[in-house]
A and B are shown apart, each in its own frame.
Chain A
Amino acid sequence: MAAHSLSPSLNRLLFAGKYASLHSRCCAVHSRVQYSTVYNPSEKTFDKILIANRGEIACRVMKTCKKMGIQTVAVHSEVDSSAVHVKMADEAVCVGPAPTNKSYLNMDAIMDAIRATGAQAVHPGYGFLSENKEFAKRLAAEGVTFIGPDTQAIQAMGDKIESKLIAKAAKVNTIPGFDGVVKTAEEAVKIAQDIGYPVMIKASAGGGGKGMRIAWNDEETREGFRFSSQEAASSFGDDRLLIEKYIDNPRHIEIQVLADKHGNALWLNERECSIQRRNQKVVEEAPSTFLDPVTRQAMGEQAVQLARAVQYSSAGTVEFLVDSKKNFYFLEMNTRLQVEHPITECITGLDLVEQMIRVAKGYQLQHKQQDIPINGWAIETRVYAEDPYKSFGLPSIGWLSQYQEPLNLSNVRVDSGIQEGSDISIYYDPMISKLVTYGATRGEALARMEEALDNYVIRGVTHNIPLLREIITHPRFISGDINTNFLPEVYPEGFKGHQLEEDKRRELVASAVALHITAQLRSQKVLGNLRVSSTPVECNHWELCVELGERRHVADVTKSGNIYTVEVDGNKVEISGEWNLASPLLPLRINGKHRMLQCLSRDISGKIVLQYLGTSFKLRVLSKLAAELNSYMPEKVAEDTSSILRSPMPGTVVAVSVKPGDTVAEGQEICVIEAMKMQNSLTAVKQAKVKSVHCKPGETVGEGDLLIELE
């Protein structure tokens, strides 16, 4: 295991006297998911709850319902009829066909399901109808409890502009800025000085980061003013300028709040969610390495102020951007249970779903602010069915032929809604699970996460474990030096998988060799009485050649008992293991150290795919003779990929912009594929004439399907 260095501030934080009393309690929170609060069975809530969601969050809510003795009703689409959340529920109602707007967003069908089953309350989970005020209203109209905040709070926080105004009024820090006509450079400088450097200047009409200039002092402000006002006038014909506080190295840190209908509100500490790709969180942790107790308290108190300002009840999340100087600014408030809520549960011991249900029934909060601890550290990685080698993750689909969660490890929590044999379809979010680990320290939690990722068996779909494992073992991540641009900064060329160092490379080669020989020796073990006796090759020394990537290695192997000594390019590696050839997991001791590898595929002709340090590597193990003879084998000519366009992912064709005979320019859009609600524009890689079109709008395509051929 890599050494995890904790930053001094973090150490101070962890061992600060304030939390010392909580350490003893944290030790009790080992092994399984345990909540420190004990459910009180005499406190009656609901008899039956309908969960208007699917997947892991539906399962998560049902777990708490079961604990509280509440009957559960699942809703599902046609394709989800044998999904885990359906099996887990006491009752299940089909609410429509696969597309979400016809099933999980189909309010009429869900209202019917509520009536038919007599559910008294609805938990919406996240996404779908969770922040839909219309849905909340319809429930209220029928006297069904919505397990979430009141309609007006959803409405107030649902509007980006209104929520900022409310936040400002509630004395919550918002990003200071000025939007309007700025006449002179000096006026711009004054505004900038009022806001405080650094500031960002751009034309109001320009969308996104277009034409954005960052000024760190007066001089740069003047310059930025000149450029931006010229651009505003010439490009947009609108000379308004936006001058706003520039957040350098922004971190996304959010505060979990919990409020009841009696005006009590608590902040349940922060979650650090800076590791994102395309504005979607990938790795989260609680607490943050970056916050000191003072900042934490300030953020927490502001979050509670905002919650009170909108008479918030239930669980909610106030998101902040935090700059490198620990200035924090309100971003938005999510009026629902967040995906990443488990890490807060791990460090506080609260069952948030239970609290939501209690609050919805009208009970007062059981806790006071000083009761809310930070017990140890929790990390969450989101395991997705997606290919991390394509823009940090493009969705993948498939049938989970093998699936094994690392629950044999202690301090691991897996929130999932799928099982072996489940289908990951194009209709829904491709999340496989939320993998949560915790420990007394961040180092402990990270080490456990590494182990858990290595032990996680997923076959049948491409997944992002290679990326997750790289992130959590990256020195910058370990030191806590992260921001929302972490991925593009660390992998400017895109993610390429684990880069093997020489010693790790040798370990991998030696493991493949040992596995290959084990399989070979097993091939000789024919049981039973044989009419013609078998004469196995008595051998305990082999010379093999191994191809890994572009390189070839020579391996000299000797075996004694279960121990292989493999000399790879002259360096000895000792490998032992149990060598179960049926198991997807390959627990090995390499030079005395435990390593969990996974065998993804293996055939007797020596092609072996191993997952090592999270990344899968293709190897070819050949005897010296076979390697020699293999050199005579002709290279097969690879398909010329510049004239064909294949679908990079499974999805639906939304538009085809060319027809046979058209001439396309390099970079011109050819067609658009939608997958998991993401539209992906596919472009020509060269100028050419379109030879043939193999898809049409509305068609479902698989990964690698031929779409367009160019001449």
Chain B
Amino acid sequence: MMAAFRLAHGSCGLINGLRISFRTLSQVKHGAVAASSVRQTNLQRACRWYSVSHLSVKERIDKKRKAALVGGGQNRIDAQHKRGKLTARERVELLLDPDSFVESDMFVEHSCSDFGMEQDSNKFPGDSVVTGRGRINGRLVYVFSQDFTVFGGSLSGAHAQKICKIMDQAMMVGAPVIGLNDSGGARIQEGVESLAGYADIFLRNVMASGVVPQISLIMGPCAGGAVYSPALTDFTFMVKDTSYLYMFKDYKILSSGYEKVSHVLFSGVAHHAFENDVEALLNLREFFNFLPLSNQDPAPIRECHDDSDRLVPSLDTIVPLESTKAYDMLNIIQAVVDEREFFEIMPNYAKNIVVGFARMNGRTVGIVGNQPKVASGCLDINSSVKGARFVRFCDAFNIPIITFVDVPGFLPGTAQEYGGIIRHGAKLLFAFAEATVPKITIITRKAYGGAYDVMSSKHLRGDVNYAWPTAEVAVMGAKGAVQIIFRGKENQAEAEAEYVEKFANPFPAAVRGFVDDIIEPSTTRRRICRDLEVLASKKQVNPWKKHANIPL
């Protein structure tokens, strides 16, 4: 018995208290859901519908439209609300600019004729998903919103085709796709039809990847095979307490209710979690504003009230003099970017690296920064993967990348070695190296060893690389280096001082041109803004290839 199915069961009980036997459905495959509300039809009413066609076409259109607007009916809407969730249409309305939603396929119905599904009362105009296009702050977007009130939002062939239709159009027009997921899984009554539907969507997710931004907001269950659609999109957001995302579910846990899998904290699947539906949708509007509509568009520029020449005196003292003392990289980022606005991606996962979107003089930029506050800001498996995926998104969508470096190296340890730090660390290296968008790097303090190379160094085609006076570019910290260089030497402290004098400063890198300039930290914002102005026309093309082979 599948997890998703359980959900449908449980929620059905909540919804209308109908007594439904699940016995016949109990052998269904994992990740699928039964259309749990197959009703015993009222024959009389059905007859009347077909036989007495005294309704004009116009009346019938109105009737269907009206029916589509209430989805699975008022009872289920109430149940959805009671669960602290909004309906599919409410979500769309809140996400998009007022009156901008243009719906498609409102009249589409499922085509299943088994298990009584052909009954009129089991047909819902629009089926279990609302699709269409609209505007967010005036900018075009395609949206689908799964309707949990219709068969638990289960995915029928029709449901899948509706989604595919808007995805196809989004790609042709060049506009992002936002999916609002709230579905128990496949529609079991439809069998393979439903599975085919998933695959159709997966294919389009892959084809659209790197062409238009794709965002998933998980607002209810999303289980089994269905999880791969969000997983293939660029960003997956979740709603705390009401959304679930999982592949397998243990039977035992099933019977005692849902265990919350914290993708936000542990798996790195989710990029952000919001308090509730309203918060999530309002924040999604804000997030959307950072993104270009497609890979054909430059990073968007919003009207900016923050002076691009603004000096930031607080940065002159932010890096502690003791190189072992931590500081918060977020303080630097917020001080540098426009209006202190930073939309952090995965703020609770692999916190030793910080990634997110901000603006410089109105233009969207991607920010990557080592976080000295967590694990000294070292790179490990999770942070490498987190960084790599973000860098690749930025590169795909013409978003310049600003990298703040304070990295003591890669995290040592057998767990990391066995986990494949070599493979995973290579991802970040690969991502920075292949990126052709403007790349600006600021070394705030440590840039040690291989991690220095990885973090958007000059050698990986960094366009502008700066060092703060506190920067130390070296193979390793003084202590370790001295033990190797001056092995056996009596006065280690003296040797250490010599090493520090020689290497623990920005000069070795600067004299070789590996950093373009040593700048006063307070001028960082001004310098970046001016560089971005110039780099806006940067053209760089990688050699032709079918596609690169990033280590996976």
Contacts and interface: CB of A to CB of B under 8 A. Distances in A.
B301 A605 contact: no
A634 interface: yes
A606 interface: yes
Interface residues of A, number: 43
B339 interface: yes
A531 B339 contact: no
Given A400-B314, A527-B362, A626 B278 contact: yes
Interface in A404-448: 419-422
A537 interface: yes
Decide if the interface of chain A is mainly helix, strand, loop or mixed.
loop
B286 A605 contact: yes
Interface in A497-548: 522-528, 530-532, 534-537, 539
B298 A528 contact: yes
Interface string A615-636: 0000000100110011011101
B289 interface: yes
A101 interface: no
A625 B94 CA distance: 7
A526 B301 contact: yes
B137 interface: yes
Contact of B331 (A401, A527, A534): A401
A421 B298 contact: no
Contacts of B302: 522-523, 525-527
Contacts of A530: 297
A139 to B, nearest CB: 30
A622 B137 CA distance: 16
A532 B138 contact: no
Given A532-B173, A634-B276, A636-B275, A582 B307 contact: yes
B472 interface: no
Interface stretch (B50-58, B250-258, B315-323): B315-323
Contact of B174 (A402, A403, A532): A532
A583 interface: yes
A527 B138 contact: no
A76 to B, nearest CB: 12
B339 A532 contact: no
Given A531-B174, A532-B175, A535-B135, A421 B276 contact: no
A580 B274 CA distance: 28
Given A531-B296, A537-B98, A626-B278, A633 B138 contact: no
A536 B90 contact: no
A82 B321 contact: yes
B314 A604 contact: no
A482 to B, nearest CB: 38
Nearest to B319: A82
Contact of B303 (A402, A525, A534): A525
Nearest to B338: A582
Interface string A96-115: 00000000000000000000
A603 B282 CA distance: 10
Interface string B294-310: 10111011111111000
Contacts of B140: 532
Interface in B302-353: 302-307, 313-318, 321, 328, 331, 334-335, 338-339
B515 interface: no
Given A523-B302, A634-B84, A605 B90 contact: no
Given A582-B339, A633-B84, A526 B298 contact: no
A591 interface: no
B93 interface: yes
A583 B302 CA distance: 17
B271 to A, nearest CB: 17
Contacts of A528: 298, 300-301
A581 interface: yes
B305 A582 contact: yes
Task: Give the interface centre of A82, A400, A622, A629 by most chain B CB atoms within 10 Å.
Answer: A629
A630 B174 CA distance: 33
Q: How large is the interface on B (under 10, 10 to 19, 20 to 34, 35 or more residues)?
A: 35 or more
A65 B285 CA distance: 57
A389 interface: no
B305 A583 contact: yes
B335 A605 contact: no
B279 interface: yes
A399 interface: yes
A605 B283 contact: yes
Contacts of B276: 633-634
Nearest to B286: A604
Interface in A620-657: 622, 625-626, 629-630, 632-634, 636
A7 interface: no
Contacts of B139: 526, 532, 534
Nearest to A525: B303
A681 interface: no
Contact of B137 (A420, A524, A605): A524
B463 interface: no
B282 A626 contact: yes
Nearest to A520: B137
A403 B314 CA distance: 9
Contact of A632 (B86, B283, B296, B301): B86
Nearest to A603: B286
B533 interface: no
Nearest to B314: A421
Contacts of B429: none
Nearest to A83: B317
B244 to A, nearest CB: 16
Interface in B101-116: none
A632 B90 CA distance: 11
A638 B52 CA distance: 57
A420 B314 contact: yes
Nearest to B279: A605
Contact of B313 (A419, A524, A535, A633): A419
Nearest to A402: B314
A297 interface: no
Contacts of A479: none
Nearest to B292: A531
Interface string A559-586: 0000000000000000000001111000
Given A536-B138, A582-B339, A634-B241, A605 B314 contact: no
Nearest to B297: A531
A629 B305 CA distance: 32
Nearest to A636: B275
Contact of A421 (B241, B277, B316): B316
A422 B293 CA distance: 41
Task: Give the interface centre of A522, A626, A633 by most chain B CB atoms within 10 Å.
Answer: A633
A81 interface: yes
Contacts of B520: none
B81 interface: yes
B334 to A, nearest CB: 7
Interface in B256-277: 275-277
Contacts of A626: 94, 278, 282
Contacts of A636: 241, 275
Contacts of B331: 399, 401
Interface string B458-502: 000000000000000000000000000000000000000000000
A23 B82 CA distance: 72
B208 to A, nearest CB: 16
B120 interface: no
A582 B302 CA distance: 13
Given A400-B314, A537-B97, A605-B283, A582 B301 contact: no
Task: Give the interface centre of B276, B277, B335 by most chain A CB atoms within 10 Å.
Answer: B276
Given A82-B316, A419-B313, A532-B140, 14 more contacts: A81-B321, A399-B314, A401-B335, A419-B314, A525-B303, A531-B174, A532-B175, A537-B97, A581-B339, A603-B286, A605-B279, A626-B282, A632-B85, A633-B276
20 contacts: A420-B313, A421-B314, A421-B315, A522-B305, A526-B300, A531-B294, A532-B139, A532-B293, A534-B138, A535-B100, A537-B135, A582-B304, A604-B283, A604-B286, A625-B93, A629-B86, A632-B86, A632-B277, A633-B84, A636-B241
